[in-house]
Amino acid sequence: MTLSPSSPSSITVTLQQLIEASSNSRHGVGIEQALQKISTQMTLIGADSKPMNSFLYIPFLQFRLDSRQLEPNDVFVLLKSHIANCQKSRAYLYQAANNAAFILSEIDPLALLATAHVPPHANLELTTDNTKSIAQQQLTALPCPVLYVPNIRNFLGDLIQARLQYQQPVTLPAVVAVTGTNGKTTISQLVAQLTQLTGMSSGVMGTAGNGKLGALVQASHTTGDALAVQQFLYQMGVENTELLALEASSHGLDQQRLQGMPVSVAIFTNLSRDHLDYHADMAEYAAAKAKLFDKAHFADLTHAIINIDDEYAQIMLDTAHASELIVWTYSLDASKKATFVAADIKPSLQGVEVSLRTDFDDGKVNHLDIVSPLLGRFNVANLLAAIAAAVALGNKTGINLERIAAVIPQLQGAVGRMQRVPSNDGCFIVDYAHTPDALSQVLASLKTHCKGQLWAVFGCGGDRDTGKRPLMAQAGLAGADKVVLTADNPRTEDPNMILQDMQAGMSAEQYQRTHIEPARQTAIEYAVSQAAADDIVVIAGKGHETYQEIDNVRYDFDDSVILQQALAQAGRV
């Protein structure tokens, strides 16, 4: 995540001072309660024998999660990696100990060092074969104390924000968080646009970039680490941003990277197969998403906005109801009873006309006609979620549904999400769809517009869930007339092997409709040269990305740019 945070860390502070200074804020209360709770669990180990609460009075500058960025008198927070690597964690510990004021470790340092060799700079003579004793000697020899805090993620965000606020207090923006497999980027950007168009200063944080609308900086992760997230939130406060719409990834929720974020409105879009290289199964994936609707994790929550058309909606509903949130639902099914329903949808290549029905359980069912410039049926669902969030926020700001509806024609889709690239004939779309469900939705939406043949150009990423590959191919073949299989981000895998995995189970008829071209640029050029004037071509999978990752190197590659060049070469612009 690329950020430009201010640095309110030029003077030292202690944890005790942070608690006292922020005693009237939820950050201070949260920190104090957390420190009291863990006081019976923590273990302070270091160069000197000190009272257990002595770490509260050690002066420091700021928190660091990366030992390479550590400067003298910073606090280093050693967190567990998803992929356990004791050797690396030990190296981080030793590297940090030379500069840190003290170390907060999520990992038991004795267990971490019990099997480690004594580093040359430790100047220890091994006098016993007892590994625990050896580890104790190593820790005692460290130049700074190490505090073992196994549940540090429960309050790390609060701790970081309290430090940021200490020297220069700022008012933080309200936060709307969006989770789900598909739609997070579009909905977060739509929420920010709707609120800004109705008078609020808004920003976004997620896959397509971070910052105020119109000035986004490209992000490396959907959800950054706890330090990056809190620094960005603080920077938005410095810039007087009133609303921050962010994407909450399952990784970020599972690893508590959003702890301490003042999320007041949480949105669930949908859940389909993705990230099963990280989560054990779909149940675990859903449980990670459901954390966003739990006040035990997000104390500022007031509203939950949930897509009841999705099969996993009930898990989110149960969690939200258990937290006693105001629960609003949305649906594209006119027969369902939901708070926001698209009762009628009239699509065109210029957008959609929607008859919106609202029912807030007050006995009044209202109807409102809206016109959206966004392509695709699934973007109607995205729009309903964004409208609901804007209404929820409007309860505090006085912005009503009619005012929100009036600005909808001014909305712009997120970059790389159903993004139409201009051409003299034919219709050419770039979209981020990289899961079977997302690809199916994109193709189904465009099929209703297509007078000729529908083309899909896509691949699968390397070093990721291999079981998804044939499912992606089948989704493309089910929704498109012509399919071009090509590379996505191969990473360290051979693109031909990925393509071979995608072809598993294909029939002879499907092969006849499929063209295989490992080179993505060549594949795009092929589709442009072969598509007829009435055809629609979708370049799917990478969307907003401006690179292609091959053998750990990121090469410049932007689907929309490559597509523009191919159209120019073919004389179609």
Which parts are annotated binding residues for ATP?
180-186
448 conformational bin, left if phi > 0, alpha if psi -120 to 50, beta if neither: alpha
Q: Position of tokens 């050693």?
A: 78
CA-CA-CA-CA dihedral for 52, 58, 64, 68, to nearest 10: -100
Please list, in sequence order, all residues whose beta carbon lies within 8 angstroms of the beta carbon of residue 126, skipping any fewer than 6 positions away: 118, 134
| CB within 8 Å of 395: residues ≥ 6 apart | none
Q: What's the sign of the alpha-carbon dihedral 462, 466, 468, 469?
A: positive
CA–CA separation, 338 vs 388, rounded Å? 11
Q: Which residues contact 299 (CB under 8 A, 6 or more apart)?
A: 26, 30
Helix (H, G, I), strand (E, B) or coil at 433: coil
Measured distance CA(69)–CA(39) in Å, rounded: 29
The two tokens of residue 521 are: 């640029």
User: What's the rounded Cα separation, in Å, for the pair 188 and 176?
Assistant: 8
Residue written as token pair 């896509």:
458
Q: What is the largest CA-CA distance in the chain?
A: 82
The contacts of residue 537 (CB under 8 Å, 6+ apart) are: 426, 427, 428, 429, 455, 457, 527, 528, 531
Inter-residue contact 484 to 457 (CB < 8 Å): yes
Residues in the annotated binding site:
65, 67, 180-186, 222-223, 249, 255, 257, 464, 488-491, 541, 545
List the structure tokens of 117. Answer: 């060799």
- 97, two tokens: 């100990």
How far does CA 387 lie from the centroid of its chain?
A: 20
Question: Do 126 and 103 contact (CB within 8 A), yes or no?
Answer: no
Rounded CA separation 125/320 (Å) = 57
CB 385 within 8 A of CB 449: no
| Feature table: binding site for meso-2,6-diaminopimelate | 464, 488-491, 541, 545
The encoded tokens of residue 420 equal 């139409």
**The pair of three-digit structure tokens given for residue 245, joined into one six-digit string:** 């719409």
Count of C-beta atoms within a 10 Å radius of residue 442: 31
Rounded CA gap, 514 and 516, in Å?
A: 6
